Amino acid sequence: MQIRNIAIIAHVDHGKTTLVDNIIRSSKVFRDNQEAGELIMDSNDLEKERGITIFSKNMSVVYKDVKINVIDTPGHADFGGEVERVLKMADGVILLVDAFEGPMPQTRFVLQKALQLNLHPIVVINKVDKPNCRPDEVHDAVFELFFNLDATEEQLNFPTYYGSGKNGWFNDSLTPTDNILPLMDGILKHVPEPKIQEGTLQMQITSLDYSSFLGRIAIGKVARGIIKENQPFSLVQADGSIKKQRIRELYVFEGMGKRKVTEVYPGDLCAVVGVEGFNIGDTIADFENPEALPIISVDEPTMSMLFSINNSPFFGKDGKFVTSRHLRDRLMKETEKNLALRVKDTDSADSFLVYGRGILHLGVLIETMRREGYELTVGQPQVLVKEIDGHKNEPYESLVVDVPEEFASKVIDLVTRRKGELHVMETKGEMQHLEFEIPSRGLIGLRTNMLTATAGEAVMAHRFLDYKPWKGPIPGRNNGVMLAKEAGSTTAYSLDKLQDRGFFFVDPGEDVYAGMIIGENNKPGDLIVNPNEGKKLTNHRASGSDAATSIAPKTLLTLEECMEYIQQDECIEVTPNFIRMRKVILDEHERNRIAKSMKSEA
């Protein structure tokens, strides 16, 4: 059977996973009476809630007697490590672009990787049914992007398809059809068969799966030779060391699942059970004459956070896994499959430094652990600083903001205050398109401020550029916070009386402890308040005769918003049911003593 290997790449929210749904439906993977639902490939709970793809996934369909292996990739820059690896398994890519937004920063990032690997591109302009879309302008912008990325003559001659994933049609013209078969024919026509070289077995491990029954499963494309069940092989590792092992079981991708086979021919993707101690990028090679494939390089982490055990007064009330051993084992397990993550021990046995690609990357890890029953404390995200030629350098990102024209000046003001520089300003329909270069530090906390300033209209996207010289201090949060004075349960009476001081992150009847952040102060500087005081009752006053208290509902912050909100002396307590912000040092006198000693040293 002939094979085609194709990866689907795009910016966030341009419709990759919806396109995969259409491919699945068009090739009748599900029976007609079987309920498949939407966004079939986003199987993880977090992916379904956020509507984004976090982990790349494989599936295959058979169309006109040709097996098409489809790889769905994440669109967020924070998961760039996933994209780079899995593109190694493909021979062609479908570049999906929104008919209104056009190419975005992440489109550029993933396309550059695909062109460097010499993959054959097919451009699909999606969402042409949207009002004010501009497919012809977007097509020209995509061509310009290819040209800027030094595409070859052959790559510049890419085929283009138009359509609407939501309405289930794609065609090589703007005429709507009632299916996506023109695109399926295009895949067979424009994506080459895998190149098969002569020689002994070679397969690079580009991805991994985990099964509690089978253990770690290595996934990759067989580059040459035939791989068979029970075959002895050499595992060539990144440092050049070679381990002799034997293959236990082999699986190929079929539909949404896997099918067990006895041998896999070159060019096909397969999952191998029985490889021990492997890392992504290692090569499964011939037993007698092992030859390694070039190592996969993954972008370095740009941000770190301190993960510690939960040491608040509410320790152990909520989670199942609370000790430092639990925390360490879970983080080490994560590094096995999350390539862009690094974990380092610190001087304290209870704390670990975790390095990642950005706030979303680390936020997804914390959220996953919280749902598994872990309790932990995480500190403020810090960018990684490098010493280059004796100068202090920090990571910079390219930031793109699309915003209605009347808010453009506010956005420029916000970004420039955080040491960003405006490089491009152009009009796209009714929107203003702004491109900045900004230190990664400046992005922390920017999204919330920007959405407030633009009435929620701004669309932000950013990607890592390079390390450049340190830009100096960046202003943080302007206002102080309100801290609980002592442990207890908040009362409506107290919160009502404190409302003119700021807004709250807690409702009446919630348990708090001393040093916990319960709200934001209207002014700079922290304010210690007592939210637990009840109303004093006398013979003359009945409890309900006063004017009823009217308290504004609490401000709910998501985990990522908390990570962007906290300052250096604050941290977040994360448990399965609660996310609380607090001071690192809970005792007020201890905080004052340390602040005084730091002043005297300075």
CATH assignment at residue 413: 3.30.70.240
Quick one: 412 and 459 in the same domain? yes
Quick one: 503 and 460 in the same domain? no
Quick one: 184 and 243 in the same domain? no
Pairing of strands 527-529, 481-484: parallel
Quick one: 155 and 269 in the same domain? no
Out of 285, 304, 335, pick the residue that ends a domain: 285
Task: Note the residue count of the chain.
Answer: 602
Yes or no: say if 490 and 512 are a contact pair by the CB < 8 Å rule: yes
Token digits of residue 211: 């099964």
Quick one: 106 and 19 in the same domain? yes
Strands (E), 410-542: 421-428, 431-439, 459-469, 481-484, 488-489, 502-504, 511-512, 517-521, 527-529
Query: Is 587 part of any domain?
Result: yes
Helix locations, 418-539, DSSP H: 440-443, 446-453, 492-498
Query: Is 381 part of any domain?
Result: no
Token digits of residue 321: 């896994």
CA 505 to CA 157: how far, in whole Å? 55
Q: 128 labelled as ligand-binding? A: yes
Quick one: 421 and 519 in the same domain? no
Q: 18 labelled as ligand-binding? A: yes
Q: 126 labelled as ligand-binding? A: yes
pLDDT along the chain (602 residues), means of 10: 83 71 66 37 45 58 85 62 74 86 75 84 87 85 87 87 85 83 87 82 80 79 86 84 86 81 86 82 85 75 90 89 91 79 89 86 88 92 87 88 89 91 84 88 83 83 83 84 92 88 90 92 90 76 56 86 88 93 90 86 72
Strands (E), 330-430: 342-345, 351-356, 376-379, 382-383, 386-388, 391-404, 421-428
Alpha-carbon Rg of the chain, whole angstroms? 27
Out of 165, 190, 215, pick the residue that ends a domain: 190
Helix/strand/coil for 544 = coil
Q: 13 labelled as ligand-binding? A: yes
Yes or no: say if 236 and 116 are a contact pair by the CB < 8 Å rule: no
Ramachandran category for residue 299: left, alpha or beta (phi over 0 → left; psi -120 to 50 → alpha): beta
Quick one: 494 and 458 in the same domain? no
Quick one: 142 and 209 in the same domain? no
CA 100 to CA 572: how far, in whole Å? 39
Query: Is 377 part of any domain?
Result: no
Q: 302 labelled as ligand-binding? A: no
Helices 408-417, 446-453: crossing angle, 10 deg rounding = 150
CA 584 to CA 571: how far, in whole Å? 6
Instruction: Report pLDDT for 57.
Output: 62
Which residues, in sequence order, are bridge partners of residue 205?
220
DSSP string of 137-191?
HHHHHHHHHHHHTT--HHHHT--EEEEETTTTEEESSSS--SSSHHHHHHHHHHS
Query: Is 16 part of any domain?
Result: yes
Q: 129 labelled as ligand-binding? A: yes
Quick one: 73 and 159 in the same domain? yes
CA 245 to CA 232: how far, in whole Å? 6
Quick one: 8 and 141 in the same domain? yes
Quick one: 19 and 122 in the same domain? yes
Instruction: Report pLDDT for 13.
Output: 65
What letter represents residue 336's amino acid?
E
Instruction: Report the largest interatomic distance among the alpha carbons of the chain, rounded to a whole angstrom.
Output: 98
Quick one: 485 and 417 in the same domain? no
Query: Is 347 part of any domain?
Result: no
Nearby residues of 256 by Cβ (< 8 Å), 6 or more positions away: 24, 29, 40, 59
Instruction: Report pLDDT for 541.
Output: 57
CA 537 to CA 526: how far, in whole Å? 31
CA 494 to CA 485: how far, in whole Å? 12
Instruction: Report pLDDT for 530.
Output: 92
Query: Is 371 part of any domain?
Result: no
In terms of residue numbers, what domain contains 462? 386-469
Query: Is 433 part of any domain?
Result: yes
Out of 190, 214, 236, pick the residue that ends a domain: 190
Token digits of residue 17: 């996973």
Instruction: Report pLDDT for 50.
Output: 44
The CATH number given to whatever domain includes residue 17 is 3.40.50.300
Instruction: State the sign of the Cα–Cα–Cα–Cα dihedral 420, 75, 91, 248.
Output: positive
CA 179 to CA 163: how far, in whole Å? 10
The CATH number given to whatever domain includes residue 229 is 2.40.30.10
Q: 97 labelled as ligand-binding? A: no
10 Å Cβ neighbour count for 2? 12
**Helix, strand, coil distribution of the chain in percent, nearest 5:** 25, 35, 40
Token digits of residue 193: 């068969």
Cα distances from 353 to residues 131, 445, 576, in angstroms, run 47, 21, 21
CA 353 to CA 335: how far, in whole Å? 13
Q: 515 labelled as ligand-binding? A: no
Query: Is 220 part of any domain?
Result: yes
The CATH number given to whatever domain includes residue 486 is 2.40.50.250
Domain count, the chain: 4
Token digits of residue 12: 């966030």
